[in-house]
Protein backbone atom coordinates (compact mmCIF):
# COMPACT_ATOMS: atom_id res chain seq x y z
CA UNK A 1 0.00 0.00 0.00
CA UNK A 2 1.52 3.39 -0.96
CA UNK A 3 2.16 6.08 1.62
CA UNK A 4 1.33 9.75 1.23
CA UNK A 5 4.85 10.20 -0.12
CA UNK A 6 5.01 7.18 -2.45
CA UNK A 7 1.49 7.39 -3.85
CA UNK A 8 2.57 9.91 -6.50
CA UNK A 9 5.27 7.51 -7.76
CA UNK A 10 2.45 5.33 -9.11
CA UNK A 11 1.24 8.37 -11.06
CA UNK A 12 4.66 8.71 -12.70
CA UNK A 13 6.26 11.68 -10.95
CA UNK A 14 9.89 12.57 -11.62
CA UNK A 15 12.71 12.11 -9.13
CA UNK A 16 12.77 15.88 -8.73
CA UNK A 17 9.11 15.92 -7.73
CA UNK A 18 9.64 12.98 -5.38
CA UNK A 19 12.58 14.72 -3.68
CA UNK A 20 10.58 17.91 -3.24
CA UNK A 21 7.57 15.93 -1.96
CA UNK A 22 9.70 14.15 0.66
CA UNK A 23 11.26 17.38 1.94
CA UNK A 24 8.03 17.93 3.84
CA UNK A 25 9.12 15.22 6.27
CA UNK A 26 12.31 16.93 7.37
CA UNK A 27 14.66 19.84 7.21
CA UNK A 28 13.78 23.42 6.41
CA UNK A 29 10.68 22.50 4.46
CA UNK A 30 9.03 20.83 7.47
CA UNK A 31 7.15 24.02 8.31
CA UNK A 32 5.98 24.22 4.70
CA UNK A 33 5.00 20.54 4.38
CA UNK A 34 1.42 21.32 3.39
CA UNK A 35 2.39 23.72 0.62
CA UNK A 36 2.37 22.54 -3.00
CA UNK A 37 5.77 21.35 -4.26
CA UNK A 38 5.93 23.84 -7.09
CA UNK A 39 5.98 26.84 -4.74
CA UNK A 40 8.74 25.71 -2.37
CA UNK A 41 10.89 28.75 -1.64
CA UNK A 42 14.59 28.99 -2.20
CA UNK A 43 14.89 31.14 0.93
CA UNK A 44 13.06 31.02 4.25
CA UNK A 45 12.19 34.36 5.78
CA UNK A 46 12.27 34.59 9.57
CA UNK A 47 8.97 35.09 11.33
CA UNK A 48 8.41 38.67 12.44
CA UNK A 49 6.14 37.74 15.36
CA UNK A 50 8.80 38.43 18.02
CA UNK A 51 9.75 41.73 16.39
CA UNK A 52 6.09 42.77 16.37
CA UNK A 53 5.75 41.77 20.01
CA UNK A 54 8.85 43.85 20.81
CA UNK A 55 7.20 46.86 19.21
CA UNK A 56 4.13 46.35 21.40
CA UNK A 57 6.31 46.00 24.50
CA UNK A 58 8.18 49.22 23.72
CA UNK A 59 4.85 50.99 23.18
CA UNK A 60 3.50 49.64 26.48
CA UNK A 61 6.62 50.80 28.29
CA UNK A 62 6.36 54.30 26.78
CA UNK A 63 2.72 54.44 27.86
CA UNK A 64 3.62 53.20 31.35
CA UNK A 65 6.37 55.82 31.75
CA UNK A 66 3.94 58.58 30.81
CA UNK A 67 1.41 57.66 33.50
CA UNK A 68 1.03 60.08 36.38
CA UNK A 69 0.55 59.00 39.99
CA UNK A 70 -3.25 59.21 39.81
CA UNK A 71 -3.34 56.96 36.73
CA UNK A 72 -0.96 54.49 38.39
CA UNK A 73 -3.21 54.29 41.44
CA UNK A 74 -6.27 53.80 39.21
CA UNK A 75 -4.56 51.04 37.22
CA UNK A 76 -3.47 49.28 40.41
CA UNK A 77 -7.01 49.48 41.84
CA UNK A 78 -8.54 48.28 38.56
CA UNK A 79 -6.19 45.29 38.38
CA UNK A 80 -6.87 44.42 42.02
CA UNK A 81 -10.65 44.56 41.47
CA UNK A 82 -10.37 42.23 38.47
CA UNK A 83 -8.09 39.87 40.42
CA UNK A 84 -10.58 39.71 43.31
CA UNK A 85 -13.45 38.93 40.91
CA UNK A 86 -11.43 36.25 39.11
CA UNK A 87 -10.29 34.79 42.42
CA UNK A 88 -13.86 34.53 43.72
CA UNK A 89 -14.99 32.89 40.49
CA UNK A 90 -12.09 30.41 40.65
CA UNK A 91 -12.84 29.58 44.28
CA UNK A 92 -16.50 28.86 43.50
CA UNK A 93 -15.59 26.69 40.50
CA UNK A 94 -13.00 24.82 42.57
CA UNK A 95 -15.48 24.22 45.42
CA UNK A 96 -18.09 22.97 42.93
CA UNK A 97 -15.58 20.57 41.34
CA UNK A 98 -14.44 19.35 44.77
CA UNK A 99 -18.03 18.65 45.86
CA UNK A 100 -18.72 16.65 42.68
CA UNK A 101 -15.46 14.70 42.91
CA UNK A 102 -15.89 13.95 46.63
CA UNK A 103 -19.49 12.82 46.09
CA UNK A 104 -18.36 10.44 43.34
CA UNK A 105 -15.40 9.28 45.44
CA UNK A 106 -17.75 8.39 48.31
CA UNK A 107 -19.95 6.40 45.94
CA UNK A 108 -16.96 4.57 44.41
CA UNK A 109 -15.52 3.77 47.85
CA UNK A 110 -18.93 2.41 48.93
CA UNK A 111 -19.21 0.26 45.79
CA UNK A 112 -18.59 -3.43 46.40
CA UNK A 113 -16.63 -4.94 43.50
CA UNK A 114 -18.22 -8.27 42.52
CA UNK A 115 -14.91 -10.16 42.79
CA UNK A 116 -11.18 -9.74 43.30
CA UNK A 117 -10.88 -9.41 39.48
CA UNK A 118 -12.34 -5.89 39.84
CA UNK A 119 -9.83 -4.64 42.44
CA UNK A 120 -7.62 -3.06 39.78
CA UNK A 121 -10.61 -1.19 38.33
CA UNK A 122 -11.71 -0.13 41.82
CA UNK A 123 -8.24 1.19 42.72
CA UNK A 124 -7.93 2.90 39.33
CA UNK A 125 -11.22 4.79 39.74
CA UNK A 126 -10.23 6.00 43.22
CA UNK A 127 -6.80 7.09 41.97
CA UNK A 128 -8.35 9.02 39.06
CA UNK A 129 -10.72 10.92 41.33
CA UNK A 130 -8.05 11.65 43.96
CA UNK A 131 -5.66 12.96 41.29
CA UNK A 132 -8.43 15.14 39.85
CA UNK A 133 -9.11 16.58 43.30
CA UNK A 134 -5.41 17.33 43.74
CA UNK A 135 -4.99 19.04 40.36
CA UNK A 136 -8.44 20.55 39.72
CA UNK A 137 -9.43 21.74 43.19
CA UNK A 138 -6.84 24.37 43.98
CA UNK A 139 -6.71 26.66 46.96
CA UNK A 140 -6.51 30.23 45.75
CA UNK A 141 -4.66 32.87 47.72
CA UNK A 142 -6.31 36.24 47.97
CA UNK A 143 -4.79 38.80 45.60
CA UNK A 144 -2.50 41.44 47.01
CA UNK A 145 -3.50 45.06 46.60
CA UNK A 146 -0.62 47.11 45.22
CA UNK A 147 0.08 50.80 45.45
CA UNK A 148 0.49 52.74 42.22
CA UNK A 149 4.29 52.61 42.52
CA UNK A 150 4.29 48.87 43.27
CA UNK A 151 2.04 48.29 40.28
CA UNK A 152 4.37 50.42 38.11
CA UNK A 153 7.40 48.36 39.17
CA UNK A 154 5.58 45.05 38.55
CA UNK A 155 4.47 46.17 35.08
CA UNK A 156 7.91 47.57 34.24
CA UNK A 157 9.55 44.27 35.28
CA UNK A 158 7.01 42.28 33.23
CA UNK A 159 7.65 44.41 30.14
CA UNK A 160 11.44 44.24 30.52
CA UNK A 161 11.26 40.46 30.89
CA UNK A 162 9.10 40.25 27.77
CA UNK A 163 11.49 42.49 25.81
CA UNK A 164 14.44 40.29 26.80
CA UNK A 165 12.57 37.15 25.83
CA UNK A 166 11.44 38.45 22.44
CA UNK A 167 14.91 39.86 21.59
CA UNK A 168 16.45 36.46 22.30
CA UNK A 169 13.74 34.58 20.40
CA UNK A 170 13.93 36.87 17.36
CA UNK A 171 17.68 36.32 17.19
CA UNK A 172 17.11 32.53 17.37
CA UNK A 173 14.38 32.75 14.71
CA UNK A 174 16.72 34.65 12.39
CA UNK A 175 19.40 31.98 12.83
CA UNK A 176 16.85 29.20 12.19
CA UNK A 177 15.70 30.93 9.01
CA UNK A 178 19.31 31.25 7.81
CA UNK A 179 19.91 27.53 8.41
CA UNK A 180 16.66 26.61 6.68
CA UNK A 181 17.58 28.83 3.74
CA UNK A 182 20.98 27.13 3.46
CA UNK A 183 19.26 23.73 3.61
CA UNK A 184 16.77 24.70 0.89
CA UNK A 185 19.50 26.14 -1.34
CA UNK A 186 21.55 22.95 -1.00
CA UNK A 187 18.46 20.94 -1.87
CA UNK A 188 17.73 22.99 -5.00
CA UNK A 189 21.40 22.82 -6.06
CA UNK A 190 21.46 19.04 -5.60
CA UNK A 191 18.51 18.24 -7.87
CA UNK A 192 19.48 16.21 -10.94
CA UNK A 193 20.44 18.46 -13.90
CA UNK A 194 17.83 16.78 -16.04
CA UNK A 195 15.16 17.88 -13.52
CA UNK A 196 16.54 21.33 -12.81
CA UNK A 197 14.25 24.32 -13.19
CA UNK A 198 14.02 25.79 -16.65
Angle between helices 119-136 and 69-110 (to 10 degrees): 170
Over residues 182-190, the mean pLDDT reads 84
Tell me, what's the pLDDT at 43?
Answer: 80
Give the largest CA-CA distance in the chain. 77
Tell me, what's the pLDDT at 35?
Answer: 57
Angle between helices 69-110 and 148-190 (to 10 degrees): 70
Tell me, what's the pLDDT at 190?
Answer: 85
Tell me, what's the pLDDT at 24?
Answer: 63
Residue 150 has pLDDT above 80, yes or no: yes
Residue bearing the bigger pLDDT, 139 or 198 = 139
How many CB atoms within 10 Å of residue 93?
14
- Distance, in Å, from the CA atom of 170 to the CA atom of 52, rounded to the nearest integer, reads 10
Is the Cα torsion angle 29, 30, 31, 37 positive or negative in sign?
positive
Residue bearing the bigger pLDDT, 138 or 196 = 138
Helices and strands in the chain, H and E counts: 5, 0
Tell me, what's the pLDDT at 187?
Answer: 81
pTM for this prediction: 0.66
Angle between helices 49-65 and 148-190 (to 10 degrees): 160
Tell me, what's the pLDDT at 196?
Answer: 44
Q: What angle do CA 150, 154, 155 make, to 5 degrees?
A: 115
Amino acid sequence: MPTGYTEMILDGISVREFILQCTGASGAHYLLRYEPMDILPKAIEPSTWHTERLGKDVGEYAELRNMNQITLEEKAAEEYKKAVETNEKNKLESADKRAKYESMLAEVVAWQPPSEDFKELYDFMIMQIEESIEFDCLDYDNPIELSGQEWYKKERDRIFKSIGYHCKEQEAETKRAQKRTEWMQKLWNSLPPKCAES
